[in-house]
């Protein structure tokens, strides 16, 4: 019974027709900060993914609603702690962190690190955009990977090097199952590359 409740919370099968159909659709997790996430980096790739028939589940450090730096509010489907319990259910196909000025303040923590480490162990696609590749680096899930991200302060190459990764100064970088982007202008391309990678895994 407890396992069944957990699967319901994680978006798993619950016995009705709509959920049976949903089982065969690809679903991924977008993680956003509860405050000051970048709305373009969320909405633009989300639209690309949904156009490709992929369901996007929004996860944040706090439940309820997340507020973008633009002031726009977005409904949160799961908290990061809830998402930790969902990784092992097999209900999701990808995990991606959206950027924005609030990302490091609200998501650069042990809960996110554990979520990323657990996800990496599944072998499924993951990644981040803008400032958030730094969270992946801090979590230790970029070892041996090529990646990009926001580098306005000039510190990203050193951060990635310390994490065993290589900085590539391109809008979007794909390294096997890892997809990173460098900011809002790359959001559409980031979303398109995520679709391509999801179709391989």
Q: What fold characterizes domain 2-198?
A: Rossmann fold (3.40.50)
User: Looking at residue 17, what is its pLDDT?
Assistant: 28
Give CA–CA dist 115/174, Å, rounded.
21
Tens of pLDDT along 155-183? 999 999 999 999 999 999 999 999 999 99
Chain centroid to CA 166:
20
Q: What is the mean pLDDT of residues 113-118?
A: 96
What average pLDDT is seen over the chain?
A: 90
CB 191 within 8 A of CB 45: yes
Q: In sequence order, what DSSP letters do the residues of 54-86 get, joined into one string?
A: -EEEEEESSSEEEEETTS-EEEESEEHHHHHHH
Is residue 24 over pLDDT 90?
Answer: no
Q: What is the mean pLDDT of residues 47-62?
A: 97
- Helices and strands per DSSP (H, E), number in the chain: 9, 12
Between 85 and 177, whose confidence is greater?
177
CB 187 within 8 A of CB 173: no
Confidence of residue 91 (pLDDT cuts 50, 70, 90): confident
Percent of the chain with pLDDT over 70: 87
What ranges do the domains of the chain cover? 2-198
């Amino acid at each position: 019974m407890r396992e069944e409740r957990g699967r319901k919370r994680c978006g798993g099968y619950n016995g009705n027709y709509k959920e049976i159909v949903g089982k065969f659709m690809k679903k991924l997790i977008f993680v956003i900060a509860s405050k000051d996430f970048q709305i373009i980096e969320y909405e633009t790739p989300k639209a690309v993914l949904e156009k490709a028939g992929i369901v996007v589940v929004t996860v944040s450090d706090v439940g309820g609603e997340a507020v973008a730096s633009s002031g726009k509010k977005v409904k949160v489907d799961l908290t990061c702690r809830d998402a930790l319990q969902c990784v092992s259910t097999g209900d999701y196909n990808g995990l991606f962190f959206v950027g924005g000025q609030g990302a490091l303040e609200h998501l650069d923590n042990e809960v996110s690190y554990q979520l990323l480490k657990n996800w990496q162990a599944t072998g499924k696609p993951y990644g981040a955009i803008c400032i958030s590749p730094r969270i992946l680096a801090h979590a230790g899930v970029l070892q041996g990977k090529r990646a990009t991200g926001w580098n306005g302060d000039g510190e990203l190459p050193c951060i990635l090097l310390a994490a065993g990764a290589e900085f590539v100064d391109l809008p979007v970088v794909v390294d096997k199952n890892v997809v990173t982007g460098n900011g809002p202008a790359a959001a559409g391309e980031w979303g398109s590359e995520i679709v391509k990678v999801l179709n391989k895994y």
